[in-house]
Chains A and B, each alone.
Chain A
């Protein structure tokens, strides 16, 4: 199981690598509007990287329901705790 803070930190590293941007700092309320590279063209690739990193699987509806990074962190916390 990973703590919420640890997940947020590792997600920040994943986002930075995925979008080649070392200035990204994630918070619970961060949305796609806050990160220029994060849009519908890059969303699924990003989700795939996160799935591979945590060795988890998101359902399609789950991925579309994430409104911000906080939702993503909660989903990862639940899946890694199981």
Chain B
């Protein structure tokens, strides 16, 4: 049962009925928790046990630590060492084959997804302990709400990351009635997310896997260029599609999660990219790593900023995985951001002098190209494969293929379907990106609602790729 699958929607339907039949707030929370544990148990019992135990541990630890008003720094270090060590240890055990029941079947990584969402809720638990230690919030008093904040089925898989306190605030005011607003906004978001994942991202999967995983996939610079760009587009539609489904599902229960994307392909700099891409994760790293470091070292001026950037993206790389490819991906972004910081005054001066449309026309492609380059490391199975791709990319004598792109692609696909899926997928992706703002702002109430929902459903059913679309790329984190 994955987010967006048929059993997932069956679970939502049953949960929705019981949720809205009941008028009791406590019971509603129990229903959501039960549904969340059923969802996690589909992946493994280890998922259920881990999320429950880590939540109980953090819930009671904060209560114990603050007793007598003395939550010491040592106590904070102890609990967050346990949180982080658990994450690293469990990931390592899984990598070593401790439990290989579920593996990625379509390339990208062999990492098992046995412990669902541990990377995401570990961040939330670490933040919770820091916030209680800093006295920003009082410890939570509702254990069910605490476990639910970590295990909530709509977002446990891949976020968005959200403070436990902010999530639990909403649990106190869960809706009694199923309102038209929650229904309309929820269903619309689920349909848009499903279209992003099943109609667009899935059409690009075969080509991306061929380009990255097949030894014949990237033999000349042009194909590496296409690989980097296609993977970035696929990742965006896959991940933001999941987030749309998560936001829409939560909305059906009257819970509003934080937005995680804001049209990243319109960024004109890397720092802007990170304000628009995986927003909740970068906000977490900014709040709990970047700013504290930049604050402590602030008298060192620009050096402080550069050190804080380096540490933040190094930790971010480690959070994604312990592999060298993630570390180099992090190093790429550290380099980009350091260069941007050092050249900020010059780029700002240029921006002021240049027509905004012209500036965007020049700097948006540069930004996307830099991100795509870093994704060559992020997506490659190992360092030798990534370095081979980089070598091929800059081997200008061998940049263009001898045969047409379609013919070359056919070697990987051996049928017309692959070529069609790629072309149609790219066409739909461009179409979506051009009208993205308008699509996301179309809140259809009143008489056009039925027509709008019918249109989205027809697009999904007629154009969706339903074979093997059972995994999202970011699930492994």
Interface residues of A (CB under 8 A from B): 19-21, 36-37, 39-45, 47-48, 60-61, 63-64
Contacts and interface: CB of A to CB of B under 8 A. Distances in A.
Given A36-B351, A41-B271, A60 B341 contact: no
Contacts of A20: 345, 349
A21 B290 CA distance: 26
B274 to A, nearest CB: 9
B302 interface: yes
Given A42-B305, A61-B136, A37 B298 contact: no
A44 B244 CA distance: 34
Contact of A48 (B287, B298, B340): B298
Given A37-B348, A63-B295, A64-B291, A45 B136 contact: no
Given A40-B291, A44-B304, A61-B134, 10 more contacts: A19-B348, A20-B345, A36-B351, A37-B344, A37-B348, A40-B271, A41-B271, A47-B298, A60-B292, A64-B287
Contacts of B299: 48
A44 B305 CA distance: 8
Nearest to A46: B298
B286 A45 contact: no
B345 A44 contact: no
A40 B337 CA distance: 12
A60 B345 contact: no
B301 interface: yes
Interface string B85-128: 00000000000000000000000000000000000000000000
Given A37-B344, A60-B291, A44 B298 contact: yes
B376 interface: no
B294 interface: yes
Contact of A41 (B136, B292, B305, B351): B305
A37 B345 contact: yes
Contacts, number: 51
Given A37-B345, A39-B271, A45 B304 contact: yes
A62 B291 CA distance: 12
A64 B119 CA distance: 26
Nearest to B292: A60
Interface string B301-316: 1101100110000000
A40 B292 CA distance: 12
Interface of B: 134, 136, 271, 286-287, 290-292, 294-295, 298-299, 301-302, 304-305, 308-309, 337, 340-341, 344-345, 348-349, 351-352
A60 to B, nearest CB: 5
B301 A48 contact: yes
B267 to A, nearest CB: 13
Contacts of A44: 291, 294-295, 298, 304-305, 308
Contacts of A47: 298
A60 B308 CA distance: 15
Nearest to B274: A40
B305 to A, nearest CB: 6
A54 B166 CA distance: 35
A60 B288 CA distance: 11
B340 to A, nearest CB: 7
Which are the 8 A-B pairs with shortest beta-carbon distances?
A: A44-B294, A48-B298, A44-B298, A60-B295, A41-B341, A45-B301, A20-B345, A36-B348
A16 B85 CA distance: 46
A10 to B, nearest CB: 20
29 contacts: A19-B348, A20-B345, A20-B349, A21-B348, A36-B348, A37-B345, A37-B348, A39-B271, A40-B286, A40-B290, A40-B291, A41-B271, A41-B305, A41-B337, A41-B341, A42-B305, A42-B344, A44-B294, A44-B295, A44-B304, A45-B298, A45-B304, A48-B301, A60-B291, A61-B134, A61-B136, A63-B291, A63-B295, A64-B291
